[in-house]
């Protein structure tokens, strides 16, 4: 009887401890759930407010007028810069509240992972995205400038020069974005060096071939002027 009684005491003590632990954990769990729901609501409301504000200042039309819409459409996507920014803000706030909720219930390891993987990496993703967006605007403007200048100089390879300028800026921005994300930094440095060298050779050939006719016209004009004076 003493052995059975001892086992019974151990079993009952274990159940009591388990029940007490559960009772002590439930308030923390409920608090964490409520806090996470609040964070979700706050993130959604703030995101809608920011999206509405950016729509009021016509941010999407600004990027459309810069030619970004066509670039994004070729990738099979729809341009919505204000919605994209609003979504980033929403999920950032949700993750912040989620981390606070996990801290309440004591899941510190998951919390540390979110802090390192999300809050540390998310700003890099945002910066990389904005680099690509801004580069698209600049690339389109520079292509038009180079194209107009080359056509004004009667360069036959004007379209090629414009395309080289466009893709050069895109590739340069893509390399910067990858470097910001920390993806294959050493490889990106080698690729960047090779890209600059190839670009220099391509531009040299393009200007050489395209400028040949211009130089010939200038020399012919000078020769005619000298002949007329004689």
| 73-131 confidence digits (pLDDT tens) | 665 566 677 788 888 888 888 888 888 888 877 777 777 777 776 767 777 877 887 78
Instruction: Please report, for the chain, how many H helices and E strands are present, in that order.
Output: 8, 0
**Domain at 121-230: CATH code:** 1.10.287
Query: Which range has the worst mean pLDDT, 8-22, 43-57, 72-86?
Result: 8-22
Over the stretch 148-203, which tens digit does the pLDDT of each residue have? 777 776 767 777 777 777 777 777 888 778 777 776 566 666 666 666 666 666 55
Q: How confident is the model at residue 41 (pLDDT cuts 50, 70, 90)?
A: very high
CA 152 → CA 6, 48, 56, 83, 195, distances in Å? 101, 47, 39, 40, 28
Whether residue 219 has pLDDT greater than 70: no
Query: Which residue, among 76, 116, 75, has the nearest Cα to 99 in the 3D structure?
Result: 116
Stronger pLDDT, 222 or 29, i.e. the higher one: 29
Q: What is the pTM of this model?
A: 0.54
Distance CA 166, CA 193 (A): 18
Other C-beta atoms closer than 10 Å to the C-beta of 147 total 19
Domain borders along the chain are: 1-112, 121-230
């Amino acid at each position: 009887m003493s052995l059975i009684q001892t086992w019974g005491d151990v079993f009952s003590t274990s159940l009591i401890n388990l029940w007490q632990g559960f009772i002590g954990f439930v308030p923390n769990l409920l608090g964490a759930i409520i806090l996470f729901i609040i964070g979700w609501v706050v993130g959604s409301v703030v995101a809608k407010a920011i999206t509405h504000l950016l729509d009021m200042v016509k941010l999407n039309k600004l990027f459309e007028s810069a030619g970004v819409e066509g670039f994004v459409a070729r990738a099979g996507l729809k341009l919505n810069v204000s919605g994209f920014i609003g979504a980033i803000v929403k999920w950032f706030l949700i993750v912040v509240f989620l981390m606070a909720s996990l801290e309440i219930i004591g899941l510190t390891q998951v919390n540390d992972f979110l802090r390192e993987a999300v809050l540390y990496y998310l700003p890099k993703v945002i910066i990389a995205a904005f680099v690509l967006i801004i580069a698209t605007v600049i690339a389109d403007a520079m292509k038009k400038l180079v194209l107009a200048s080359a056509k004004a100089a009667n360069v036959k390879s004007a379209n090629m020069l414009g395309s080289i300028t466009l893709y050069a800026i895109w590739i340069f921005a893509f390399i910067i974005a990858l470097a910001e994300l920390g993806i294959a930094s050493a490889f990106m440095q080698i690729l960047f060096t090779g890209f600059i060298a190839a670009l220099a050779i391509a531009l040299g050939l393009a200007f050489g071939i395209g400028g040949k006719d211009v130089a010939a016209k200038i020399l012919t004009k000078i020769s005619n002027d000298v002949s007329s004076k004689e």
